[in-house]
Structure 1
Amino acid sequence: MFKPIEQEFQVSYRYTLHSTKGLFDLGNDLFKSIIEEYKQNSRVKLLFVIDDGVANAHTDLLKNIVSYCEKYSYILSHTQSIVVKGGEQSKNSDGNVGEILKAINENAICRHSFVVVIGGGAVIDMAGYAAAIAHRGVKLIRIPTTVLSQNDSAVGVKNSINAFGKKNFLGTFAPPYSIINDSEFLSTLEQRDWIAGIAEALKVALIKDVGFFEYLEKHAEKLRERDHEAMQYTIYKCAEIHMQHISQGGDPFESGSSRPLDFGHWSAHKLEHMTGYSLRHGEAVAKGIVLDVTYAHMIGLISESELDRIIRVFEAIGFDLHFPVESEAEINRLLNGIEEFREHLGGQLTITLISGIGKKHDVHKIDNFLMKKALQSVNKTSNSKIL
């Protein structure tokens, strides 16, 4: 008999988050420099994928991209710009993925070329998935255009589309080559999109950084009122904590069952699907976090004063915390999200709660009766605020 042959190796990943304003202004050489750093003295092919909401709000964007690539044509080779429907619907089927793969093939985009995606988190997820499966991995540059994508979804290593009625059922772990946050894109966001992304900042603050939570608490009204300086710090700090978790958490590709960055997400993902994705992801996450901290209070992990303090911050920023589920059947369907989350983890159920502000606490069992009571408490409190 032959003895087993064993192999072990490690691969190092490195990527950088840049911050700028007016990325495709002709006087801004950041984008050119990033490509030039990868390959000097040689033209690099670029395929752009652009969220239609961004293209419509920034009507000169496509023209500016072409002009920019023409100015730096010795390094940048613009092949095509594809405009795709934005929002969660962009990843609810493989239609857009197929269109991008077709363009990658027709434009001879190879593993030394770049797909450059400009848009919200859903479009970035979808385009990243397409890039990851083409040629077993085409290089990707992410240019997120919403608060949520700039501080959370675009700064990680995950790409995905939805399938079988489940969020992110198909996906890959594939780090981008680079991420570029352009603050200019935030100026045209609707108010609900401006606010929604702050939920992810509150998420990381609650599980990792009490000082950051205190900053968000102190600046809640400024954030609601679209204060640029407060938002830029919020995005930067949230992204920094998120990226540190990926590199220092010891599980960047989530092979284990503990996923603290999914705090509040078991119900958020289920609620998004139940509402036909009419809720923004951040809006659903805000509700999910408040539900889970209410449950944490009910099982004795946090005090009533801590719970009230957390809820006040969400409300001061402008979140509607009410769950649009009324009937027993709807409530049970929502709670089934716990089992679906366990399946997504691929093993033991691990739900991240908190034992104090800035202190994560994992549990491996949820009392459905108490979770229903927590849901009723959240809805009763949020209804009274509306009235």
Structure 2
Amino acid sequence: MNKTTIIKQAFQVNINFNLIFTSHLFEIDNPILVDLFSDNANTKSNAIVVIDDGVTKAHPQLKASIINYFKAHNASINLQGDILEIPGGEQAKNSEAHIKTILKSVNNFGIDRHSYVIAIGGGAVLDAVGFAAAIAHRGVRLIRIPTTVLSQNDSGIGVKNGINYFGKKNFVGTFSAPYAVINDDTFLSTLDDRDWRSGISEAIKVALIKDRVFFEWIEANAIALNNRDQDVMNTLIHRCAKMHMQHIQNSGDAFEQGSSRPLDFGHWAAHKLEQLSNYSIRHGEAVAIGIALDSTYSYLRGYLTEDSLTRILNCILNSGFDLTHSHLNDKVINGLNEFREHLGGKLTIMLLKALGTGFEVHDMDETMVLKAIDLLNTYNQD
């Protein structure tokens, strides 16, 4: 008779990193980066830098500033090789060729687990570079420098990395925390209006499911945000980023082993809209429509009052977003099955029962979803 023996294993990993807010990061007298490098240690470290090519076009002096910064602080860190540029937006995540380019640089310049990959760009570039950093040597130190509103208040401060595969959003990826995240508000000044606006939707999202007071602040400041008020935007980014970090810390499921994804409110439809539009729609624009859709569905199911729905839709419109899109049709419903697969088999959707209060359901009435789409396609703001 065979004897069965079971040895159980359990351990915890402590993850700590700072989100730092600054301006003009690469001015030589700004100590933020050199202080981070000095914290590493006893020996001089190596780093490579990967930049979103849209950022270098908007900031033509940036590469020279980075090189000069590293020369001025070469007692702490060596900048290795040429600064790499990869395409911004979803192009960064749609081809594994960019990952291979980064891995080749890691290999050629001896970037080990006490060295750094510094990623500068929007959320898609940070996702792709973060994935490469996470799989090189099972993880080299990643410093994220987000350059868009969306990446500074949401995607850049989390623990997820990935690329698109098989035509599916983030099909290949990792959970891996950055060494640090640095938000430099000077990068926001050159954003076009769509990218400036895009990240506002993620703030609306987290406010609607967690914090009515924050939603009412966004509601009151929506027009100022859309009109590019920098001080108001800095406040939004700081509050939104802090809420996202608190959720990751307090959820007990930072690496998403369960099926609950409260911060994915509005995202099941948003991801499908991005795919259907061949990524011509920005992520934040798609999220705004996804929020509108799930809020409208919540209203049609009797969970949310008509007044609350009107306030949500008007806030989205006043922030400069559309409520609908040419691809917002019955094909979007396929996104439910893809989202279920992404969650691991059990569909979990965040809906609203009040402003600032979300709750989860495990099924969606597809007929009611189509009614919600029809309502959005005909909605007129008072």
SS at match of 2:157: coil
Q: Offset at 1:365?
A: 0.7
Name the counterpart of 2:22.
20
Name the counterpart of 1:118.
120
How many residue pairs align between the two structures? 379
Judge which range, 26-35 or 174-183, deviates more: 26-35
Q: Equivalents in 2 of 1:380, 1:175: separation in Å?
A: 43
Q: Equivalents in 2 of 1:38, 1:245: separation in Å?
A: 28
1:165-197 per-residue CA deviation (whole Å, 9 max, x = no partner) reads 100000000000000000000000000111110
1:264-298 per-residue CA deviation (whole Å, 9 max, x = no partner) reads 00000000000010011000000000000000000
Mapping for residues 1-387 of structure 1, pairs under 5 Å: 1-39=3-41, 41-80=42-81, 81-325=83-327, 331-381=329-379, 384=380
Give the 3 Å change call, closer, same or farther, for CA 221–332 of structure 1 in structure 2: closer
SS at match of 2:130: helix
Q: Offset at 1:144?
A: 0.2
The answer to whether the 8 Å contact 1:21/1:183 transfers is: yes
SS at match of 2:263: helix
Task: Letter of the 1:230 partner, please give it.
Answer: V
Q: Equivalents in 2 of 1:126, 1:232: separation in Å?
A: 26
Q: Offset at 1:347?
A: 2.1
Q: Equivalents in 1 of 2:176, 2:251: separation in Å?
A: 17
Task: Letter of the 1:62 partner, please give it.
Answer: K
Q: TM-score, structure 2 length as denominator?
A: 0.98
Q: Equivalents in 2 of 1:217, 1:90: separation in Å?
A: 33
Q: Equivalents in 2 of 1:214, 1:43: separation in Å?
A: 49
Q: Offset at 1:321?
A: 1.4
SS at match of 2:21: strand
Task: Letter of the 1:352 partner, please give it.
Answer: M
Task: Letter of the 1:65 partner, please give it.
Answer: I
Judge which range, 264-273 or 216-225, deviates more: 216-225
Q: Equivalents in 2 of 1:35, 1:321: separation in Å?
A: 45
Q: Offset at 1:2?
A: 4.5
Q: TM-score, structure 1 length as denominator?
A: 0.96
Q: Equivalents in 1 of 2:91, 2:36: separation in Å?
A: 31
Q: Equivalents in 1 of 2:6, 2:111: separation in Å?
A: 39
4+ residue stretches of structure 1 with deviation over 6 A?
Answer: none
Q: Offset at 1:17?
A: 0.2
Q: Offset at 1:323?
A: 2.2
The answer to whether the 8 Å contact 2:147/2:187 transfers is: yes
Q: Offset at 1:3?
A: 1.0
Q: Offset at 1:38?
A: 2.1
Q: Offset at 1:6?
A: 1.4
Q: Offset at 1:42?
A: 2.3
* Identity level (%): 50
The answer to whether the 8 Å contact 2:276/2:327 transfers is: no
Structure 2 alignment gaps of length 5 or more: none
Structure 1 alignment gaps of length 5 or more: none
SS at match of 1:344: helix
Q: CA RMSD in A?
A: 1.1
Q: Equivalents in 2 of 1:119, 1:102: separation in Å?
A: 20
Q: Equivalents in 1 of 2:259, 2:8: separation in Å?
A: 26
Q: Equivalents in 2 of 1:192, 1:2: separation in Å?
A: 61
1:187-234 per-residue CA deviation (whole Å, 9 max, x = no partner) reads 000001111100000000000011110110111111011111100010
